Homo-oligomer: A and B are copies of this chain.
Amino acid sequence: MSAPRTIGIGILGFGTVGQGVWKHLSEKQADLESRLGVKLDLRKACVRDLKKKRAVKIPAGKLTKNPNEIIDDPKVHVVCELIGGTTKARELTLRALRAGKVVVSANKALLCEHGPEIFAAVRQHGGQFLFEASVAGGIPIIKAIREGLVANRFELIVGILNGTCNHILTRMGVDGLSFADALKEAQVLGYAEADPTLDVDGIDAWHKASILAWLAHGKWAPSNRTLVEGIRNIGPADIDFARRFGFALKHLAVIRRDFKANWMTVGVYPALVPNRDILARVTGVNNGITLRGDVVGATTLTGRGAGGDATASAVIGDIVDAIAALTGNTNSGLTADSLAARESQGKKVRMADLPEIVSPFYLRLSLLDKAGVSEGIYRIFSKHKVSIARVIQYEHPNQGRGTVTLSTYPVDELKMSKVLTDLRRLKTVLEEPVVLRIFSPES
């Protein structure tokens, strides 16, 4: 076997996303290297102010104020463009692509305004431009459209693509705040900028919608043929109507395609979504996207839309894809290297023991209906120090038995199995108890 190739990575722009990328790449370097069969070389990060205090640890020699030290470094193969804006970012992106490098970008405005120019450079010079991070940060939506669901033509793509709008509308709809108060709160929490125009007037969502439409249908939607509306006009009467008739107010990006008439339409606007739809359940700063494909039907992806870490996750996903492509070692199949890495990883893991597995429980007990029965039951819970959260007791007159359903506070599996053993021993417990775990994926 030949020595592993070294892949150099440079980062332009060292805000929360850039720092997140550096941090997580450093922390997982060994794991990623063994999966990819390469050495990773975190070359440099370009900043505006060398002396600024930063949350992430980085050697002083790795910082530069000069982007050329990254763009012109022949040892840098992958450039992460995280500076934002469309002037300097465009110039640096094009220079990197013309040098045949891979550019990984979170810059939706850049892609929307200069997409054709950027991809012309890709085609001409053989580099790559990857942009998973530009739409719905933590949700791998670009990859889903481009790869996982490649068998499909999408007649509908509809998404909540702006977390700021969604947070404001959630606070208005669920908690009764006014637009002004909800906006103020979002600003205090750091979810909205001092000038919230890009978010609340729909520009940000429009950029993202435009990227998804191009990806799915190959056409950049002209802005003069697109409906772009924000959420400033939403008021209490709208919230009231929505609530009465079972809708949630959401700011949606809607991309429809008619394959027979051969048109597409892109719109960004506040809309009423029936509560039964999953998108109605996407609350707070989260994003969610439903794809309706001709083969697969409806698939919905939800998760964090923005924030340094979610976006960094997407950037790193792209970096890994780029490296797989550069080394011809695509990891879409489980290659020999990545299988070996997975195997050695697996050897370090053991199965959990019962006391390590904790959740609240639900129990249904069928009990003899006579005095003192309840006390006997509760004595067992108290002996094992298991706290009961809720109880419903049902009588079944004429049958001489009752039913108790109850939930507990979190308790480990071992303790719970002891409770169950004791319960089964009671003559007053007439049937095998029904046991369910209570599970909240989001807690």
A436 within 8 A of partner (CB)? yes
Say whether, besides A138-B299, A313-B296, A334-B119, A345 and B439 are in contact (CB < 8 Å).
Answer: no
Chain A 174-198 against B: per-residue CB contact (8 Å), 1 yes, 0 no? 0000000000000000000000000
A244–B316 CA distance with the chains assembled, in angstroms: 44
A20 within 8 A of partner (CB)? yes
A362 within 8 A of partner (CB)? yes
Task: Report the minimal beta-carbon distance from A279 to chain B, rounded to whole angstroms.
Answer: 6
Chain A 37-48 against B: per-residue CB contact (8 Å), 1 yes, 0 no? 000000000000
Select one of B245, B330, B350, B441 contacting A292, CB under 8 A.
Answer: B441
A277–B438 CA distance with the chains assembled, in angstroms: 12
A83 within 8 A of partner (CB)? no
How many chain-A residues does the 8 Å CB contact rule pick out?
Answer: 142
A254 within 8 A of partner (CB)? yes
**In residues 231-245 of chain A, which contact B (Cβ within 8 Å)?**
233-235, 237-238, 240-241, 244-245
B235 touches A346 (CB 8 A): no
Q: Which of A150, A328, A364 has the most CB of B within 10 A?
A: A150
B339 touches A332 (CB 8 A): no
A57 within 8 A of partner (CB)? no
A302 touches B321 (CB 8 A): no
Q: Which residue on chain B has the smallest CB distance to residue A139?
A: B299
A11 within 8 A of partner (CB)? no
A295–B237 CA distance with the chains assembled, in angstroms: 40
Q: Which residue on chain B has the smallest CB distance to residue A309?
A: B295
A16 within 8 A of partner (CB)? no
A310 touches B297 (CB 8 A): yes
**In residues 333-374 of chain A, which contact B (Cβ within 8 Å)?**
333-336, 339-353, 356-357, 362, 364
B122 touches A334 (CB 8 A): yes
B272 touches A436 (CB 8 A): yes
Which among A67-75, A85-93, A123-131 touches the partner chain? A123-131
A55 within 8 A of partner (CB)? no
A106 within 8 A of partner (CB)? no
A334 touches B128 (CB 8 A): yes
A418 within 8 A of partner (CB)? no
* Chain B residue contacts of A276, Cβ below 8 A: 442
Select one of B32, B156, B351 contacting A441, CB under 8 A.
Answer: B156
* Chain B residue contacts of A110, Cβ below 8 A: none
A352 touches B295 (CB 8 A): no
* Chain B residue contacts of A151, Cβ below 8 A: 24, 28, 312-313, 316-317, 320
Task: Report the minimal beta-carbon distance from A61 to chain B, rounded to whole angstroms.
Answer: 25
Select one of B257, B295, B299 contacting A20, CB under 8 A.
Answer: B295
Given contacts A20-B295, A234-B434, A235-B434, 16 further A-B contacts (CB under 8 A): A122-B336, A128-B335, A130-B332, A137-B296, A143-B332, A147-B321, A241-B405, A245-B390, A257-B349, A262-B349, A264-B349, A264-B352, A292-B441, A296-B303, A297-B304, A300-B301
User: Can you list 22 A-B pairs, Cβ within 8 angstroms, ordered by A?
Assistant: A137-B296, A138-B299, A140-B143, A140-B148, A143-B144, A150-B316, A150-B317, A218-B347, A235-B364, A261-B356, A263-B351, A263-B356, A265-B356, A265-B357, A272-B436, A272-B437, A290-B441, A296-B313, A298-B442, A299-B301, A299-B302, A325-B333
